[in-house]
Structure 1
Amino acid sequence: MTNTVSRTQVELTNARAKIVGSRDGVLADAIVWLVRTTRVAWSGVAVGWRWLTAVITPLGWSMIAVVVLALVAGYVFGWTEAVVIGWTALAMLLVATVYLAGRNAYRVHLSLPANRVVVGDKAPGEVQMTNPTRRRLAGVRVEVPVGQGLAEFASPSLAGGETHSDVFVVPTTRRGILPIGPVRTVRADPVGLLRREIVWAESLDLFVHPRTIAIPSMSTGFVRDLEGAPTRDLTSSDVSFHALREYVPGDERRNIHWKSTAKTGSYMVRQFEQTRRSHLLVALSLSAADYANEEEFELAVSAAGSLGVRAMQDSRTVAVVASALTPDFAKRTIHSVRRISTVNRGRLLDDLAGVETAETALRMPELAQIASEGAAGTSIAFLICGSTVGPAQLRAAAGHFPLGVDVVAIVCDSGAVPSLRRVTDLSVMTIGFLEDLQKSLAKRMAA
């Protein structure tokens, strides 16, 4: 459940705050409306401009400039040569538009053998082109957008019913969700003045998962469960028998041990060891202010993924949350958390592949406050952040959790020497590499 708590406008750092600050009223709303409308209008102009730049090549723009300058100069100054040059360039542009007419009859299919890879691995993709007609189709240039990059190759002419396949490799140097495609073929005139892109296949998403590592099992818990492990905490109702004691007012009569009562002459009741099962909470900060650089954030995402995967392997109840963002034109800071899917390992890593830092995201103390309110029964809470979060902020974040919850702060400091220290009821674990998480957790579990 997402909780929302309002804060003052002064604390906002979104687009509205940068425009009108903490001011409210008709004038402030009018200014914001004007800015938003201008953005929408400018977006429409940008779409039209992108269409023109996609059709007209740099050589085409040069030819348009020649047409304008030559015709103007020729008719103004009476230069016959300039007039001839201008009309000739215009004729070339008109002829070039003829090459853009029509549509190739190809049948194009884009496929990814694996749409989920770990960062650093190579992901192959395949484009298959088929000529479904009876006539031979001329070869075309094929382009496949890959994120911000572009894979391109030339397809040969195909006879009727013939198929041609090309394989390309996607390098995954950074975690994220890469859109692959849509595949497009390019029609252009021989001179290269104009080009027309024809989109064929739909776009596919390639999920580049963060790197994870195997970590020790975590079995300490708080929620009672028949599959839980016995602890030293005693209770009057459970499944693990501990001892007998004398009856005190308030004990349930069903727990009276009648044979021992008959022997001792006083009421004796059963006492049990409380069994528990781990209920893990992993809170990942997405605030840009909580990290010194991008390497720290990537390390934090990998740590969150490793903890979540380990909990699923142990069949533990786990909740993974991240900071929510405040919209650009919101009047107040929005206090809420983004819940990462924990249905299975794949869904968890898919969601973590798409997380990014933001200036308007909640910082660790606020994230811990909202996360603690929406995660009843939590036994272990992992708070993951970067090196810019100080001890005071970590203590404030841990203070939002009730007594009995084991709070562990994992501070990601790229390249730092790993350390483990105890601050009152809070364990602060500093890791410089992902492998340090495995060693530090094993050390803490042993302690």
Structure 2
Amino acid sequence: MRRVHPGFTKRARCLLAAGVAAVICGAALSEQELVRGGAFAAIVPIVAAVVVGRERLTISSTRRLEPARSTVGERAIVQLTVTSRSALPTSTLMLEDTLPGQARGRARFVLDRLSPHQTRTVGYRLPELPRGEHSVGPLHIRLTDPFGLIDRTRSFTARSKLLVTPRVELLNRGSTSLVAGFGDGVASAYIGSNGVDDHTTREYRDGDDLRRIHWRLTARAGTLMVRQDEQPAPSDIMLALDLRFSAHPRWGSAAGEPGESASFEWLVSAAASIGCHLIGDHRPVTILDAPQQPGGIRFTRRDDVLTYLALSQPRQDVHVSEMVDRMAAGADHSMTIALLAGLDETTAQRMVEKARGRGRSLAIVIDVDSYDLLGQESAADPGRAGSAGTDNAEVAGAAEIGSTAGGVWEPSSALLQSCGLLRAAGWAVAIAGPGESVTSVWSRLVGQPAQLGGLR
């Protein structure tokens, strides 16, 4: 705990000033009684400061956050425990805990005097905080003497960290046929019931050696089955997150400072939802975002994904051409899921040129232009299911219209044309409008027919 020297309160300063004035006037008027009274009045605050300054008052405090990590939209509870470790009782205490910079207001409490070795606990609820890591503390304690002449402030140095993770939406597990089982060299459903041979067999694919056909299992399964030397391990799914600073519109806060980007927060929420969904299905996920990690970062645990995405921020050193090239370099994964902030024809054409006709590629393209037009209010809550969806969207991308919280939304013809180029190259594409939930966009995306081709 850091100690601050005691200071005079307004009452003490007035008393000191009055005492000095009385001494001066008494000396000028040769009034000894006035001089003695003024001297006494001036000495009282000084003596109080000396006594209070020499007093050894020991106070300890602890802070507990419940929970230590929260999700966007949740409000954590802070529990402060203050203990007097002195042999003398304290005066009235005023506590003030330092809130994170993004929070408004103050956390102030008044405690009656503490008896020796007495403990008091107070609590308050933090306001909703944006995604990221936030610091709570330090705690400041203000003490006064019984006459209200001296004001002392003790500041603790301990701070607590609160991690706010992105919102995770529950995705429809019944519509994941486009994802499930791809790229694993998935063996036949007969594994475990037909002997060891069945563990090393799979369905016939174009180009397989006819001499490897397992005729007995083929007769039993009703489809061509071939032997393979070993069971391949499930390969990762690459999740490419668009971190381009210039691609995400931002709005100023009430204080005139740059606010957070609603489109970027939506993409981070989508990455968290999809990543946790795939890991829940025992599919490792590689997140490709920052250029310092050319091959991306591999995750197998849900908490690790949320911790990483909680700290993600748009970057000015990310360029679209470099992002597409890194996606192509990582196309040895079983599937690529790109989360893009807008798409122009040049970028779509570059992605098409990287396609070689194998693998599966999916893309969620957020309509950042509509975010910019409809404003921050209609897009500030990425988890709000304010959309009637665009379930009538054609796979070919001819029209994609939906109702959002800001009214009827329709993507521009340029965006539809760019997404059409990707679809023609074998991508499954869904466009996300303002206010749409990740769940509805994901359901539209995986509900499209499985297509081969994509980024290679």
Range class of TM-score, shorter chain: 0.5 to 0.7
CA shift in 2, pair 1:229/1:138, >3 Å: farther
**Does residue 116 in structure 1 map to residue 69 in structure 2?**
yes
CA positional deviation for 1:317: 1.8
SS in 2 for 1:146: coil
CA positional deviation for 1:398: 5.9
Cα distance between partner residues in 1 of 2:434 and 2:91: 54
Match of 1:411 among 357, 365, 369: 365
* 1:209-260 Cα distance to aligned partner (Å, 9 max, x none): 2212122333152243559999xxxxxx9512559x9977xx6xxx48799x
**Does residue 366 in structure 1 map to residue 322 in structure 2?**
yes
SS in 1 for 2:306: helix
CA shift in 2, pair 1:208/1:105, >3 Å: same
**Does residue 156 in structure 1 map to residue 112 in structure 2?**
yes
Tell me which residue corresponds to 1:396.
350
AA of the residue aligned to 2:170: A
CA shift in 2, pair 1:339/1:391, >3 Å: same
Cα distance between partner residues in 2 of 1:94 and 1:340: 64
CA positional deviation for 1:372: 4.0
Structure 2's unaligned 5+ residue stretches are: 18-41, 192-198, 217-223, 251-260, 372-377, 380-388, 398-419, 449-456
Tell me which residue corresponds to 2:305.
348
**Retained in 2: the 8 A contact 1:286–1:361?**
no
SS in 2 for 1:159: coil
Tell me which residue corresponds to 1:4.
none
CA positional deviation for 1:318: 0.9
CA shift in 2, pair 1:410/1:257, >3 Å: closer
**Retained in 2: the 8 A contact 1:368–1:398?**
no
**Does residue 282 in structure 1 map to residue 239 in structure 2?**
yes
Cα distance between partner residues in 1 of 2:171 and 2:301: 18
Cα distance between partner residues in 2 of 1:384 and 1:226: 30
CA shift in 2, pair 1:445/1:355, >3 Å: closer
Identity score, percent: 18
Cα distance between partner residues in 2 of 1:121 and 1:132: 35
Cα distance between partner residues in 2 of 1:288 and 1:145: 31
CA shift in 2, pair 1:313/1:306, >3 Å: same
Tell me which residue corresponds to 1:437.
438
**Retained in 2: the 8 A contact 1:122–1:172?**
yes
Cα distance between partner residues in 2 of 1:123 and 1:246: 57
Match of 1:134 among 66, 82, 87: 87
SS in 2 for 1:323: coil
Q: Which has the higher strand share?
A: 1
SS in 2 for 1:133: coil
Cα distance between partner residues in 2 of 1:109 and 1:135: 21
Cα distance between partner residues in 1 of 2:208 and 2:153: 90
**Structure 2 length-normalised TM:** 0.60
**Retained in 2: the 8 A contact 1:280–1:318?**
yes
Higher relative contact order (CA 8 A, sep 6+): 1
Q: Please give the residue correspondences for 1:33-182 in structure 2 after superposition, counting only pairs within 5 Å.
A: 104-148=57-101, 149=103, 150-182=106-138
Cα distance between partner residues in 1 of 2:284 and 2:135: 32
Cα distance between partner residues in 1 of 2:331 and 2:93: 60
**Retained in 1: the 8 A contact 2:295–2:326?**
no
* 1:285-323 Cα distance to aligned partner (Å, 9 max, x none): 222111123111111111111110110111012111322
Cα distance between partner residues in 2 of 1:310 and 1:122: 24
CA shift in 2, pair 1:143/1:239, >3 Å: same
Tell me which residue corresponds to 1:41.
none
**Retained in 2: the 8 A contact 1:130–1:161?**
yes
Cα distance between partner residues in 1 of 2:67 and 2:118: 26
AA of the residue aligned to 1:442: S
**Retained in 1: the 8 A contact 2:213–2:227?**
no
Q: Please give the residue correspondences for 1:201-240 in structure 2 after superposition, counting only pairs within 5 Å.
A: 202-216=158-172, 217=176, 218-224=179-185, 238-240=200-202
Cα distance between partner residues in 2 of 1:119 and 1:285: 20
AA of the residue aligned to 1:367: M
Match of 1:199 among 153, 156, 167: 156
CA shift in 2, pair 1:391/1:429, >3 Å: farther
Tell me which residue corresponds to 1:271.
226
AA of the residue aligned to 1:145: T
CA shift in 2, pair 1:395/1:310, >3 Å: farther
Cα distance between partner residues in 1 of 2:325 and 2:213: 43
SS in 1 for 2:362: strand
**Does residue 378 in structure 1 map to residue 333 in structure 2?**
yes
Give the root-mean-square deviation of aligned CA atoms. Answer: 4.7
Cα distance between partner residues in 2 of 1:228 and 1:356: 43
* 1:259-288 Cα distance to aligned partner (Å, 9 max, x none): 9xxxxxxxxx97359989563111112221
Cα distance between partner residues in 2 of 1:289 and 1:214: 30
Q: Please give the residue correspondences for 1:179-190 in structure 2 after superposition, counting only pairs within 5 Å.
A: 179-186=135-142
AA of the residue aligned to 1:295: A
Tell me which residue corresponds to 1:309.
276
CA shift in 2, pair 1:401/1:306, >3 Å: farther
CA positional deviation for 1:100: 6.4
SS in 1 for 2:86: coil
Cα distance between partner residues in 1 of 2:72 and 2:282: 26
Q: How many residues align?
A: 341
**Retained in 1: the 8 A contact 2:201–2:225?**
no
Query: Which deviates the most, 307-316 or 377-386?
Result: 377-386
* 1:22-44 Cα distance to aligned partner (Å, 9 max, x none): xxxxxxxxxxxxxxxxxxxxxxx
**Retained in 2: the 8 A contact 1:213–1:435?**
no
CA shift in 2, pair 1:159/1:139, >3 Å: same
